[in-house]
Amino acid sequence: MSFYDHIQDEDPEIFAALIGEDARQAEGLELIPSENYVSRAVKEAMASSLTNKYAEGYPGKRYYGGQEFTDAVETLAIERAKKLFGAAYANVQPLGGANANIAMYFALLQPGDTVLGMDLSHGGHLTHGHPVTYLTKVFNFIRYKMKDVETGEIDYDDMLRVAKEAKPKIILAGFSAYPRELDYAKFVAIAREVDAVAVMDIAHIAGLIAGKAAKNPFDYGFDIMTTTTHKTLRGPRGGMILTRESEEIAKKIDKAVFPGFQGGPHMHQIAAKAISFREALHPSFATYAKQIILNTKAMEGVFKAQGARMITGGSDNHLILLDAWTSFGISGGEAEKLLDCAGITLNKNAIADDTRKPMDPSGIRFGTPAMTTRGLREVESAQVAEIMVGVLTKRDDASIEHAKAEVKKLALSHPIPESFVG
């Protein structure tokens, strides 16, 4: 019996799309840094009977009856999340990372209050105050940048100057396309000096932190961490908010999530989160997290040898941001399409102070979480980077077909696992 037997019988068109996507994932390599594979157990939870159940409220304080098992599931998710990240409080109900950030803002701010966050063009995230988001109609977002694009150094002196002038209520760290580790102590020192709450959006590196392959911002005094539960954490698509020690902040966050922004939580998703947190608590996850970084460094070495320009000069984490325009004479959009034809999926991405348009920027962003889940190590990661260089350099049909065959061979020899903990 396949996972899709009933879909095949009831909706052949959706079945065809699902089978096609399964084949695409099995035969190609996912290099988008925010994508990963989940275990069979997580998939089963997402398809469980919990999807039928409304559970508005929190464990022990629900608005509907029949909550014996939903309370057990959410309590397990909360306790595992707290243990995983060293938090005193955890809200596991946000439906995604954006929802988590929005709830966090409204928990801590009044309309018109100021947030100091990383500029999107220098690696930040849409929900950190990009003008296209509706958040900017409510709150005042100001931005900090890198001082040196070639090394990735943040201009902490300028951040302090701006913070003293603007008096932000939140100092926000975190990123979607920044390959280096931040100086958490400096962020917290600046936040304390201007009496701001220190918040870290760990969405991209949550798995690295959980696996102790990257520093934990809570160890440096951050008050709150927001995150997605997929990406490096290898759970279902969803969000979460963690509070280091303040019960007052945690209560405000709970109220902002529900009833402030969400109704009934998606209990099937929370069950899947709980399973993925248990997987991340397994000793093998630390090995996985460290291997992600080793694989990124292996790819970095290939591009360095080719003289390619990487923003910040390389990477300390799971991703690389490469200037395709300077390195290979093609735009990020063109590079994305060429590599897609070769079975390598990544995304076009703006680089710092990019002069090209957002839909066809200068850069490409790629990373190793999903590859590492499949068991690829340094040798194979370097091989993938070499395939990428060949495609981006030659750009002819024969080279792309040869690359596609190599990628398919590599992918099929490293099948997507169904279990991570045995």
Convert the pLDDT of each residue in 161-179 to its tens digit: 999 999 999 999 998 899 9
Convert the pLDDT of each residue in 86-135 to its tens digit: 999 999 999 999 999 999 999 999 999 999 999 888 888 888 888 888 99
Tally of CA atoms within 13 A in the half-sphere of 337 that contains its CB: 10
The span from the CA of 54 to the CA of 63, in Å, is: 9
Contacts of 137 (CB under 8 A, 6+ apart): none
Of 178, 176, 151, 161, which is closest to residue 116 (Cα–Cα)? Answer: 161
pLDDT at residue number 422: 62
271 phi/psi in degrees, rounded to 5 = -60, -40
CA 226 to chain centre: 11
SS3 for 197?
strand
Domain boundaries for CATH 3.40.640.10 within the chain: 44-281
56 phi/psi in degrees, rounded to 5 = -60, 135
- Residue 340: other Cβ atoms inside 10 A: 13
**Is CATH 2.60.40.1930 the classification given to domain 283-412?**
no
Q: Return per-residue pLDDT of the chain as tens, 422 residues.
A: 478 999 999 999 999 999 999 999 999 999 999 999 999 999 999 999 999 999 999 999 999 999 999 999 999 999 999 999 999 999 999 999 999 999 999 999 999 999 999 988 888 888 888 888 899 999 999 999 999 999 999 999 999 999 999 999 999 999 889 999 999 999 999 999 999 999 999 999 999 999 999 999 999 999 999 999 999 999 999 999 999 999 999 999 999 999 999 999 999 999 999 999 999 999 999 999 999 999 999 999 999 999 999 999 999 999 999 999 999 999 999 999 999 999 999 999 999 989 999 899 999 999 999 999 999 999 999 999 999 999 999 999 999 999 999 999 999 999 999 999 86
SS3 for 51?
helix
* pTM recorded for the entire structure: 0.96
List active site positions: 54, 56, 201, 228, 231, 237
136 phi/psi in degrees, rounded to 5 = -70, -10
Asked whether the bond before 369 is cis by omega within 30 degrees of 0, the reply is: no
The span from the CA of 147 to the CA of 162, in Å, is: 14
pLDDT at residue number 112: 97
The CATH number corresponding to 44-281 among 3.30.365.10, 3.40.50.300, 3.40.640.10, 3.40.140.10 equals 3.40.640.10
Do 307 and 323 contact (CB within 8 A), yes or no?
A: no
